[in-house]
Amino acid sequence: MVIGDWRKGESDAIRNNAARGQGDDSFFRRQGHNGHSQPYQRLHCSARGFQFQAFYSNSYTVTPRSNRMGISLNGPDLRHRESADILSDAVPLGGIQVPSGGQPIVLMAERQPTGGYTRIATVITADLPLLAQAAPGNTVRFRQVGMEDAQKAYFEARSLLAGLSLAAGFWHQGMKLF
């Protein structure tokens, strides 16, 4: 099978919708917009206080400097109490670091394995695919969620992907989705 070929039994409606870039996007609308005019990325927080309040009270614009290593954001500067540098430690996917310039960077798939900048929060796993699709000029906001809500969102996303993969015939028992 060549990439882009359709499998036997796929309906014309599925093919036509996919060719037009249409289909059921309710998961992404529900996850990304949550009834607000701008998408929110949900966070598991590692910081408190004035600067954190400033971070999730404001909108940030995705900059053209964004790539697979990190989503560079432009918005109100976040000030450090002392230095932006910390002892190097492991850098999680979705970790939001704040270098000395005060502009946050969401670390993505090709991030460095360790780093030494302050991290204010981590985007939850379920929201990373939506954030990864943000284009330069898009505006994003962040809101805090607890660990229980983050885990619930993860399992909902995983269940949705498993259902889509089964329907498309790509998934098999034991395959990890993310």
* Residue-level pLDDT at 177: 56
* Residue-level pLDDT at 49: 59
Q: Considering the entire predicted model, what is its pTM?
A: 0.67
CA contacts within 13 A on the Cβ side of 108: 18
Assign domain 36-168 one CATH number from 1.20.1250.20, 3.40.50.2300, 2.40.100.10, 2.60.40.10: 2.40.100.10
* Residue-level pLDDT at 38: 40
* Residue-level pLDDT at 8: 45
